[in-house]
Amino acid sequence: MKQRNLIPISLLVWGLLALFAVATSSADDNIVPRKITTITIPGNLPHFDISWVDSASETYYLADRTSTPGTGRVEVIDAEHDTFLYSITGFVGNAGSGLSGPDGVLVIHKRNELWAGDGDSTVKVVDLATGSVVTSIPTGGDHRADELAYDPVDQVILVANDRDAVPFVTFISVETRTVLGISPTPKLPPASSSPFGTSKGIGFTCRCPPRSRTRTEKLTKSIPRRKA
């Protein structure tokens, strides 16, 4: 008898869960975003690029190209209290298309480091304990080192050099701060006028399973193609 009752009880539980999911979804659909506050940044952010949130420290980092060459910086914001903290200087600044920086930024929390691509084809490493650039790593290009990705398994940084005549991806050792190699991308045909047909830019994802599993790491480059 008890075994026969398991089916209706299970159906009842699943039914309640389904109703809860629908109710939650409906409630979420009714949420209207609202501005909480305004954080003032020195210089009013005339030109900026990528940002990064370090959830462990609740800190927000924003690549600020400023308005003039030689004054680029990364703005550091307390994301818990919504307040501006300080600026990290030492970047190219606004030097024209494909030459400005900082660009992509990311934080390696365990190392207390920020890594940022810059307009002079370098990747700069910042010691967050001092808030200053401690290493500048040339990637060998003529234009910016742009967005980055981090492989915590093998301690490798990947950076997209997307504005060179032959775009490429640079692999950098986090431990030695040296270039391990590059992966070039053939030059793409001219783009159409559609914003979705642009030939500029390289995107990539890094799948990095734990060391205990079979090593099947893959780097996938997403390259925009010309609109047919």
Show the 3-state SS of the chain.
Answer: CHHHHHHHHHHHHHHHHHHHHHHHHHHHHCCCCCCCCCCCCCCCCCCEEEEEEECCCCEEEEEECCCCEEEEEEEEEECCCCEEEEEEEEEEECCCCCCCECCCEEEEHHHCEEEEECCCCEEEEEECCCCEEEEEEECCCCCCCCCEEEECCCCEEEEEECCCCCCEEEEEECCCCCEEEEEECCCCCCCCCCHHHCCCCCEEEEECCCCCCCCCCEEEEECCCCCC
pTM of the model: 0.73
Q: What is the reported pLDDT for 24? A: 54
User: Using 50, 70 and 90 to split pLDDT, how confident is the model at 183?
Assistant: very high
**38 belongs to a structural domain:** no
* Residue range 34-58: mean pLDDT, rounded: 91
- Residue 15 or residue 174, greater confidence: 174
**175 belongs to a structural domain:** yes
User: Using 50, 70 and 90 to split pLDDT, how confident is the model at 186?
Assistant: low
**22 belongs to a structural domain:** no
Whether 206 shows a pLDDT value over 50: the answer reads no
Weakest-pLDDT range from 71-80, 102-111, 128-137, 207-216: 207-216
Whether 159 shows a pLDDT value over 80: the answer reads yes
- Residue 8 or residue 178, greater confidence: 178
**141 belongs to a structural domain:** yes
**119 belongs to a structural domain:** yes
Q: What is the reported pLDDT for 214? A: 46
Q: Give tens-digit pLDDT for 162-179.
A: 999 999 999 999 999 999
What whole-number distance in Å separates Cα of residue 103 and Cα of residue 143? 11
Q: What is the reported pLDDT for 197? A: 34
Q: Based on the structure, what is the number of domains in the chain? A: 1
**3 belongs to a structural domain:** no
**227 belongs to a structural domain:** no
Tokens of 173: 């050792």
**96 belongs to a structural domain:** yes
Q: What is the reported pLDDT for 173? A: 98
Whether 221 shows a pLDDT value over 80: the answer reads no
What whole-number distance in Å separates Cα of residue 72 and Cα of residue 97? 14
User: Using 50, 70 and 90 to split pLDDT, how confident is the model at 103?
Assistant: very high
Strand order across the 132-138 sheet: 105-108, 113-117, 122-127, 132-138
Whether 1 shows a pLDDT value over 80: the answer reads no
**Cα angle for residues 141, 176, 119 (degrees, 5° grid):** 25
Mean pLDDT, the chain, rounded, equals 80
Q: What is the reported pLDDT for 219? A: 54
Whether 227 shows a pLDDT value over 60: the answer reads no
Q: What is the reported pLDDT for 45? A: 83
Q: What is the reported pLDDT for 195? A: 34
Q: What is the reported pLDDT for 128? A: 98
Domain boundaries, position 104: 48-186
What whole-number distance in Å separates Cα of residue 162 and Cα of residue 199? 10
CATH code, domain with 148? 2.130.10.10
